[in-house]
Amino acid sequence: MRVGAISTALVALMPTTLGWLSEQHPNIEIKVVLGTSAGLLKMLDVTESILLVDGGYTCW
């Protein structure tokens, strides 16, 4: 699973969220992609799946 996040969300949300996700799904492989909201949104057009978290803590 790829998770895209801006730096604010990465610091504020990702440690707890990724810890919980790893506990619930111990065999999951997670790749965190750091970027801007605009850059991460563009990735939605070219990737199979990605979870995006922006500064407003919205997930797509």
Q: What is the pLDDT of residue 41?
A: 80
Give the residue-averaged pLDDT of 17-28. 86
How far apart, in whole angstroms, are the C-alpha atoms of residue 1 and residue 52?
11
Domain count of the fold of the chain: 1
Taking a C-beta distance cutoff of 8 angstroms, is the pair 52, 59 a contact?
yes
Q: Is residue 59 part of a domain?
A: no
Q: What is the pLDDT of residue 17?
A: 82
How far apart, in whole angstroms, are the C-alpha atoms of residue 60 and residue 55?
13
Q: Is residue 37 part of a domain?
A: yes
**φ, ψ for residue 57, nearest 5 deg:** 60, 40
How far apart, in whole angstroms, are the C-alpha atoms of residue 16 and residue 28?
16
Q: Is residue 60 part of a domain?
A: no
Q: Which domain does 47 fall in, by range?
A: 2-53
Q: What is the pLDDT of residue 48?
A: 55
Against a cut of 0.75, is the pTM above it?
A: no
